[in-house]
Amino acid sequence: MTQIIAIDGPAGSGKSTVARAVATALGWSFLDTGAMYRAVTAEVLRRGIEPADADAVARVAAEASISTLPRVTINGVDVEETIRSEPVNVAVSTVSANPAVRRAMVTRQRAWAAAQPTGTVVEGRDIATVVFPDARLKVYLTASLDERARRRGDEGVSSVTRRDSADRERVASPLRQASDAVVIDTTDLSIDQVVEEIVKWLKTPN
């Protein structure tokens, strides 16, 4: 059975960077679930679909072919740069709050993890609470608002705050800290320090 490290946390907490580095350190696979939702959002916008059109957006998610490695693609189109654009930043909260979209993505995420030969590191906002509640190790990353906004670059404090509210208040799979998650404040830590902490916890007997 595939071992899973589930890493959750708000925008700018370092999830993607840390998860990728942990996977490299362990020789495991890595899945950026946030990129999946952003890819769907990019495709929705490309087609001129209103992000609030729940049924139309759900159809895009259900029918799409998505890959996150080595670059993010949807239906064979490279959207690695597009998914970090301001239009996607604004619309992704609406798309990712769509229950049908979340169901489609969770199904894909579980199937992907099950197909990995050894272990996998998965990051997102509902990984430890919804997608993989039985993960070998659950980690919740956090950081100060100013530091998270700095890391998000062009998004700024207002954009990160808006995303925080949308993630925590949505009905479908809201952002929550799992009760048994290891909490790591990354504000003043280097990537290597965070990775070292996570690997240490992985090796700690339950």
Q: What are the domain boundaries of the chain?
A: 3-202
3-state secondary structure of 65: coil
Q: What pLDDT does 164 receive?
A: 86
Instruction: For the chain, give the mean pLDDT.
Output: 93
Q: What pLDDT does 156 receive?
A: 75
H or E stretch covering 63: helix 54-63
Nearest to 137 by CA among 128, 125, 124: 128
Domain 3-202, CATH class in plain words: alpha beta
Q: What pLDDT does 1 receive?
A: 59
pLDDT digits (tens, 9 = 90+) for 67-94: 998 899 999 999 999 999 989 988 998 9
Q: What mean pLDDT do residues 92-99 have?
A: 93
Instruction: Count Cα atoms within 13 angstroms, Cβ side, for 54.
Output: 7
pLDDT digits (tens, 9 = 90+) for 3-37: 999 999 998 899 999 999 999 999 999 999 989 99
